[in-house]
Amino acid sequence: MSMFRTVTARLYAPTKPLIPRFSNGLRKYATQSQTDLKEILAAMIPVKQEEIKSFRSQHGASKIGDIQIDQLYGGMRGMKSMICETSVLDPEEGIRFRGLSIPECQKVLPTAPGGEEPLPEGLFWLLVTGEVPTQEQADWLSRQWADRADLPSHVVTMLDNFPNNLHPMSQFSAAISALNSESNFAKSYAEGVHKTKYWEFAYEDSMDLIAKLPTVAAKIYRNLYRDGSSIGAIDPEKDWSANFTSMLGYEEPMFTELMRLYLTIHSDHEGGNVSAHTCHLVGSALSDPYLSFAAAMNGLAGPLHGLANQEVLVWLTKLQQDLGGEVSDEQLRDFIWNTLKGGQVVPGYGHAVLRKTDPRYTCQREFALKHLPDDPMFKLVSQLYKIVPGVLLEQGKAKNPWPNVDAHSGVLLQYYGCKEMQYYTVLFGVSRALGCLASYIWSRALGLPLERPKSMSTEGLKKLVGA
């Protein structure tokens, strides 16, 4: 595959104000005039290292909670056991990226010319630095990722040779692993680079991988659903999302706007979710970013994690097939109860941490209200929003009866013509790279060690508590 590049004129949106999020000691390093993210990081890292060193020296022996046996058998829910600097998930408030809520990010992050939704480039800059970037800094990332987007020929050949019955996520994960041939981190480690330099090569690999993921994802999509047609050219003057949607074959401007929002809000959900934790765990063994993120994608492919957005559309499709067009509230209640009585869950509802409507659901709902208010599938999703929580509360098993991000994303994609449900988790995966790899860079910069928690047997626990 040859990737030809075109150059088009580009207009820049007005510069937005810089909002500091790091401690005062770091603010001076992320100025509006600097656009080289690596240089800014190089100045930030020693300050953050010293901050943590001082904090640990004073409070390293402090206790932060107790662990109950139920937590060990219950998926370690609620156990404070990890460091994640990029985002924090509050059960009542939802996700905050470096202190900013999703509505706040929508207000302050840079946008594309003429657009309203935040650029994922701006979100990545925020996750890495803790600072809201200027328009110029976000545009710098767009150009960097366009310049790094080409794939090595062996990965293209591998993707072209995969059978059509291989799930898109399996192809995605395999291609990411194969990109390990390009790893600066793995090469430098083999050559004996000093550990204080690990972050520099982690940064280069992360930037390369983020740049290449839309190319990989578009190649998979074209091979599976568009008869192997060409993904076309990377345009160095387009932003990351615009190049991605163009390679997929979608030229509708509002679909590109949706993708900017989608890739921003799916990027990070603190460190304990399956994909983020997996990337951190594998990375703690000093596996390079390609291998670490490939492992994360195998976790994301599970039906209790990223595959859930596919499950939602399957369930909604079955609902429409069984009940027909216009559906009464009573018919919906009966269908929901039949689902629950059949030993199944209502996909898209509930969350391991959240105890309110997912803000990621809310911002997608607002997008739909603005751009597709009369879409029948959106109306159905809105109707379910009124009914499902009440049924789940009546059932009495759900700690959180409210919708999560997966309850809405597929409906928006379907509206703009992206109807291949098996592919949706790949889109999620492209986005999740922003959070996973921002954390990976900082893990190497802070010298976080190999993760190795202590496990217990049931017999051992019985002895421990005197049972």
Q: For the segment 284-300, what is each residue's pLDDT rounded down to a tens digit?
A: 999 999 999 999 999 99
pLDDT given for residue 240 in this prediction: 98
Helix, strand, coil % (nearest 5) of the chain?
Answer: 60, 5, 40
Catalytic residue among 235, 280, 406, 408: 406
- DSSP E strands: which ranges in 83-180? 87-90, 94-97
Of 269, 280, 351, 408, which is the active-site residue? 351
Per-residue confidence band for 462, with pLDDT thresholds at 50, 70 and 90: very high
| Each residue's pLDDT tens digit, 48-95 | 999 999 999 999 999 999 999 999 999 998 899 999 999 998 887 889
pLDDT above 90 (res 357): no
Question: pLDDT band at residue 400, thresholds of 50, 70 and 90?
Answer: confident
Q: What is the Cα–Cα distance from 114 to 369, expressed in whole angstroms? A: 20
Is 59 catalytic? The answer is no
Q: What tokens does 286 get?
A: 């000093």
Residues 6 or more apart in contact with residue 127 via CB below 8 angstroms: 86, 87, 97, 98, 267, 268, 434, 435, 438, 439
Residue 4 has a pLDDT of 33
Is residue 147 annotated as part of the catalytic site, yes or no? Answer: no
One-letter amino acid for residue 59 of the chain: H
How far, CA to CA in Å, does 392 sit from each of 147, 356, 396, 402? 49, 13, 6, 9
In this prediction, residues 385-409 reach a mean pLDDT of 86
Number of H helices, E strands in the chain: 21, 2
Concerning whether 351 is annotated as a catalytic residue, the answer is: yes
Report the candidate in 137, 89, 70, 84 with the shortest Cα–Cα distance to residue 109: 137
Structure confidence by residue, pLDDT tens digits, 128-185:
999 999 999 999 999 999 999 999 999 999 999 999 999 999 999 999 999 999 999 9
Lowest mean pLDDT among 16-25, 157-166, 178-187, 243-252: 16-25
What's the confidence (pLDDT) of residue 33? 64
Active-site residue (options: 266, 269, 277, 305)? 305
d(CA 209, CA 240): 13
451: left (phi over 0), alpha (psi -120 to 50) or beta: beta
Average pLDDT, the chain: 90
pLDDT at 36 over 50: yes
DSSP state of 309: H
pLDDT at position 23 is: 42
Report the pLDDT value the prediction gives residue 32, as an integer from 0 to 100.
58
Beta bridge partners of 89: 95
- 447 membership: H or E segment, kind and range: none
| Banded model confidence at residue 437, pLDDT cuts 50, 70, 90 | very high
Higher pLDDT residue, 29 or 337? Answer: 337
CA-based nearest residue to 126, from 146, 147, 104, 144: 104
